[in-house]
């Protein structure tokens, strides 16, 4: 059943930080967040909230994320707690001695860290199923059928969709932020990889892993991104958003529009109409270079090769403790030669140049984030063929941006009350600020089409 979120849990309007945290904990404890958490940090979050209340009462300056409830994917080191990547393999891991850099920046900005969240084991799936810890149910899907949350940042997305957290820290290697955001009606922003350090984060692919977050709107996405990047926030009224009416946008017809479910196709078309009426100039282009992605990926994948480099210490001795579907994908990396790995890097570099050259006249590209709405969970837990088919569909469009070394944001574009559908805006590396400007304008325009009076208010 689609969830009605209490905005006070997110916004904290008119209450103490400690009271807001107590309300968030009540939601985090509820059935809607079942299996979303690996471990909770309630005691330390409570101490932080009380400290913020004392500072505010003394009129002391507070950080830009002061009082925000925030969840942390179980890949990021949090001082005093183990990091286990949603696995049995690391069940006996020692507590981290220090925060990962991303967590340290969020904590320093005043965020209240509520706990480590569940994920696809070692972040190696876009579906979000975890056979060891259980799988959280997608709270945004209408009806009573349990549907997948999307992955790999499955639990993090659920904590935001449920209203327990204002943001969820995660990682995106082939869509792990944008997929669950799209399937749960949230905003998922994947920035250019090099902007946020990955120190203190368990790696899936050192070439592709990107530290980023899931939020409820683009205002919050921009704030969290600025903190993660260590950027100074522009004072209110100084930044001028790029008007949507001046934007040149392109919709590639190759690959990213294949095999769309009818509801995704019709919702995406309607969203394009909304953006066009808001003044955006939208063109359909072929971009045939996208078709070549599968051809040279036949050499192997960065995720398989680079995850094998990490897991070869564990997998031969502990294979029975792995999710068999994850172990199978990691082991493919053992068969990739050094020559093939080097050739893959070279092919990627040439492909990035070709795509950037072919699209440089556009401010951003558009496509559905994923070609399907969240499917029922049960068949995917029972049938390997069905699982891998859905996993490939979910990863297909988002992974284009990771291979491009670009930036992207998934915005909800479905009518309120219907199955969530995401619209992905994407651009080349380094275009993050411009893309977020466009996303704010697109979000505001799409809100009308979704039957919402407004969006992106970013209430503190």
Is the preceding omega at residue 291 within 30 degrees of 0, hence cis? Answer: no
Residues 46, 61, 191, CA angle at the centre, nearest 5°?
A: 80
The single residue of 44, 48, 71, 73 carrying the catalytic annotation is 73
CB neighbours of residue 285 within 10 Å: 15
The single residue of 48, 87, 152, 301 carrying the catalytic annotation is 152
Residue 51 CB partners (closer than 8 Å, separation 6+): none
Q: Is residue 73 annotated as part of the catalytic site, yes or no?
A: yes
The answer to whether 358 touches 283, Cβ cutoff 8 Å, is no
The single residue of 44, 100, 176, 205 carrying the catalytic annotation is 176
Q: CA–CA distance from 408 to each of 77, 428, 444 (Å)?
A: 25, 9, 17
- Helices 432-449 and 218-229, packing angle to 10 deg: 160
Q: Mapped to the 3 state alphabet, what secondary structure does 58-110 carry?
A: CCCCCCCCCCCEEEEECCECCECCCCCCCCCCCCCCCCECCCCHHHHHHHHCC
Q: Is residue 152 annotated as part of the catalytic site, yes or no?
A: yes
The answer to whether 425 touches 411, Cβ cutoff 8 Å, is yes
The answer to whether 63 touches 34, Cβ cutoff 8 Å, is no
Q: Is residue 176 annotated as part of the catalytic site, yes or no?
A: yes
The answer to whether 160 touches 214, Cβ cutoff 8 Å, is yes
Query: Phi then psi for 53, rounded to 5 degrees?
Result: -60, -40
Token readout for 147 is 């549907």
Euclidean distance between CA atoms 314 and 12, whole angstroms: 44
Q: In what order do the strands lie in the sheet with 210-215?
A: 37-40, 112-117, 69-73, 167-172, 210-215, 187-190, 407-412, 422-427, 364-368, 248-252, 281-285
Active site residues: 73, 152, 176
């Amino acid at each position: 059943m689609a969830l009605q979120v209490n905005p006070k849990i997110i916004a904290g309007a008119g209450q103490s930080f400690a009271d807001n945290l107590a309300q968030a904990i009540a939601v985090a404890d509820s059935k809607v967040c079942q299996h979303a958490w690996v471990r909770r940090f309630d005691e330390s979050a409570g101490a932080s909230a009380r400290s913020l209340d004392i500072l505010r009462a003394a009129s002391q300056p507070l950080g830009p994320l002061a009082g925000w409830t925030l969840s942390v994917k179980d890949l990021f080191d949090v001082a005093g707690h183990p990091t286990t990547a949603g696995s049995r393999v690391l069940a006996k891991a020692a507590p981290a001695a220090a925060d990962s850099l991303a967590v340290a920046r969020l904590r320093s900005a005043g965020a209240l860290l509520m706990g480590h969240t569940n994920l696809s084991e070692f972040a190696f799936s876009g579906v979000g199923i975890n056979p060891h810890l259980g799988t959280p149910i997608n709270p945004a899907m209408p009806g009573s059928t349990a549907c997948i949350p999307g992955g790999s940042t499955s639990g993090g997305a659920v904590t935001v969709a449920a209203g327990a957290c204002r943001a969820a820290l995660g990682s995106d290697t082939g869509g792990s932020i944008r997929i669950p955001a799209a399937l749960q009606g949230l905003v998922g922003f994947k920035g250019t990889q090099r902007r946020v350090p990955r120190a203190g984060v368990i790696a899936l692919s050192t070439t592709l892993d990107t530290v980023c977050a899931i939020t409820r709107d683009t205002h919050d996405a921009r704030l969290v991104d600025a903190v993660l990047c260590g950027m100074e926030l522009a004072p209110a009224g100084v930044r001028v958003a790029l008007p949507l009416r001046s934007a040149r946008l392109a919709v590639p017809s190759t690959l990213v529009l294949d095999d769309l479910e009818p509801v995704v196709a019709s919702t995406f078309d309607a969203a394009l109409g909304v953006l066009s009426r808001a003044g955006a100039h939208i063109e359909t282009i072929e971009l045939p270079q996208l078709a070549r992605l599968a051809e040279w990926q036949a050499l192997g994948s960065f995720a398989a090769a680079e995850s094998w480099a990490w897991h070869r210490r564990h997998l031969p001795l502990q294979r029975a403790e792995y999710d068999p579907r994850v172990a199978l994908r990691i082991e493919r990396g053992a068969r990739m030669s050094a020559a093939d790995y080097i050739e893959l890097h070279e092919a990627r570099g040439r492909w990035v140049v070709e795509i950037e050259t072919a699209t440089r006249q556009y401010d951003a590209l558009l496509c559905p984030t994923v070609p399907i709405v969240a499917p029922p969970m049960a068949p995917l837990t029972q049938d390997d063929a069905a699982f891998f088919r859905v996993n490939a569909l979910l990863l297909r469009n988002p992974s284009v941006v990771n291979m491009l070394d670009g930036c992207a944001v998934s915005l909800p574009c479905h009518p309120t009350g219907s199955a969530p559908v995401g619209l992905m805006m994407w651009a080349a590396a380094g275009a993050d600020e411009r893309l977020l400007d466009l996303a704010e304008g697109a979000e505001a325009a799409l809100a009308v089409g979704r039957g919402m009076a407004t969006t992106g208010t970013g209430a503190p």
